[in-house]
Amino acid sequence: MILKAKHNFLIYPFFKHYAGWIMKKHFGVIQVTGQFQDKKMPLLVISNHISWWDGFWSMYLNVKIFKRKFHFMMLEDQLRKFWFFNYSGGFSVNKKSKSILESLNYTSELLTDSDNMVLIFPQGEISTMHQQHINFENGVNRLLKDKEKYQLIFQVNLVDYFSAKKPGIYIYIENFNNAIVERSVQESYNVFYRQCVENQNNLNRTK
C-alpha cells in the first residue's frame, strides 16, 4: 500500500512558511519568470529534479502563485525516512513494486479536485541541470493521457551564482498548450527547457 498524502494542521502550515524562509536565507536571488493563467482546474506541475531543494521551490511557487493544496510524489524509502513530508502533502511511489499503479491512480484521483496541485518529477530521479534532454518515465506518460482534465504546468529550476556570493534560483514556468498537437508533452517540455537554458545564457551576458 502506498503512503497517501496528509496535511497536518501544524506541519503543513509550517512547511509553507519554512519553504519561503529557508529560500530567502540561502539564495541571494529568487526569480520567477513566466505567467500563470489560472483556469480554476486541478494543477499537474512537471519539474526537472536537480536537488534536495526542488520541493521547497515548488512550494514557494504554490504559496506565491498557484495557491492550491500542495501534493508531491516522493520515493517511498525517502518518504519513510523523512516522514514529516508525508504530513506536508507527500505521497509515496515505489518504482520496483506493483504499487506504482496505485500511486498513479491516486495521482489521477487527486487531479479530479480543482483545489489540488500535484508536483511530479518526470525523470524519476535527481540529475544534473546541465543535461541536454529529459526523458519521461512510462508512468508519467500514463498520467498525461488525461491532460485535458487538469491544467498542466511546466517548471524548470536553474541555479547560478554569476558574480554573487550566494547562488540565485531562477524558476521558469509555462502553461502547456493542448493545441500544440504536433509535439508530445515530453518534446514540448524539452523545447521549453532549452529555452530556459538559453535565457540563462543571455542573462549571464548582462551580469
Tell me the C-alpha distance between 188 and 184, whole Å.
Answer: 6
Share the mean pLDDT of the chain: 92
- How would you classify residue 162: left for phi > 0, otherwise alpha for psi between -120 and 50, otherwise beta? left
pTM summary value: 0.94
pLDDT tens track for 1-46: 899 999 999 999 999 999 999 999 999 999 999 999 999 999 999 9
Strand order in the sheet with 43-47: 29-33, 168-175, 151-160, 43-47, 116-120, 69-75, 90-93
pLDDT tens track for 84-95: 999 999 999 998
Tell me the C-alpha distance between 39 and 17, whole Å.
Answer: 26
Q: Give the single-character DSSP code of 86.
A: G
Delineate the domains of the chain, giving CATH numbers in brackets. Answer: 11-206 (3.40.1130.10)
Asked whether the beta carbons of 112 and 149 are under 8 A apart, the reply is yes
Whether residue 190 is predicted with pLDDT greater than 70 in this model: the reply is yes
Helix H or strand E segment including 82: none
The C-alpha cell at 24 is 530567502
Whether residue 207 is predicted with pLDDT greater than 70 in this model: the reply is no
**Taking every pair of C-alpha atoms in the chain, what is the biggest distance, in angstroms?**
51
- The count of residues in the chain is 207
